[in-house]
Structure 1
Amino acid sequence: MGCPEKPSDCGPQFNAKPAPSIQAFGDRATLLNSLQTPSGWAKQDDWVALLPLAEFAYNNGVHAGSKHSPFYLCYGYNPDFTVGDITVTQVPQADELAEFLKRNLEEAKAALTMAQNKQAFYYNNKHKAAIKLEPGDRVFLDSSNIKTSRPSHKLEHKRLGPYKVLEKIGKESYKLELPKSMKIHPVFHTALLHKEPFDEFQRKPKPLPPVITQTGEEYVVEKILDSRKQGRNLWYYVKWKGYGPEENTWEPKSHLANAPKQVAKFHQLHPDAPGP
């Protein structure tokens, strides 16, 4: 049969039980790394003997998600792990083993608690409380899920805007007033929104007013950023003077009759770009 031209993981040979997640392996590694043995964990050659203790501590410990231990959810109770009163035994080896089991079980429980706390720490850092917005507020929009015409997304602006909040949709989403050129659904979750910081000195320059001509109001073209062909029509991606990148728009060539210098400069810098 040979090897397929495009290997896939959807074939019948891949129907085996999935491997545990990397996160699950990380939790168990943290648990084992925190266990100590009489011979010392530096050798790392006696971890097999510790696996039953680690498994018991994991299954007998309360998990943050379910608020119960796996043992309790499966059997309705938590088994009691006791090694008896080691002071009344007469076998030194038994006393040593009992002390070994007791100490390692306590350390396994402590390691499990540490792993759960670490998970909670990273989760809380990533999932912050939702911001509260009101209609009229201005927010920046995370651009990670927005496609643009620029060739490298890594060099794209990390945030776009600010945009005006129009209304709240649902519990944690808001509708924004976006430029028509963006052509995307204007409702976003609060995780993608960042409230514009208040500037008491009003240092952000206000957009320039349109230029009044005989034909009406016209906005000043600062520069041309890109060009494209749609059918027989030529379009230019325009940066308007006095406005941020979120206000850039695609305009047909006929709308740029008063910006011949900007068009000529763009084609001089980008001779391979679509042109007339």
Structure 2
Amino acid sequence: MKAAQDRHKSYADKRRRPIQFEVGDMVMLKVSPWKGILQFGKKGKLSPCFVGPFKILECIGKQAYRLELPEELSGIHDVFHVSYLRKGLGKHEKTVPLAEVKLDKILRYIEEPEAILNERIVNLRNKIVDLVLVKWKHHRGPNWTWENKDEMKAKYPELFERP
């Protein structure tokens, strides 16, 4: 048993990447998008984005850092684990401008729909489902998903108004 544990630890140590920052470094903060709707009956899980850059004010132990946050994020605690931080080198491809998002206390922002792109009807065995193709704001990568039309119409009626 000990030999297996040692072998597993050596594999893990080879792949582990120690991340350390210094006081004064600029880092990006990882935030998780949270869709306010249900996607096919389950919560939608989208890829995280990064906001920032923010300056490191203090190292707290080996794993936590205190950041200098702007006034818009005054409701959020300013100490973060190293897993929420990335080195702030230039423009990151998944960076979301802080002025465009509103974060809650647990670093989530709500994905909001931007437009309805398409509609279709899907025939299942026992029922017919109306779907709409929704384009999402601030989402990096493929920023559209097929959603239930009735749920979208109930939550976002302004998207279905025809000019």
TM-score by length of 1: 0.29
TM-score by length of 2: 0.44
Larger radius of gyration between Structure 1 and Structure 2: 1
User: Which of 1 and 2 has higher RCO (CA within 8 Å, sep 6+)?
Assistant: 2
Where is the strand percentage greater, Structure 1 or Structure 2? 2
Where is the helix percentage greater, Structure 1 or Structure 2? 1
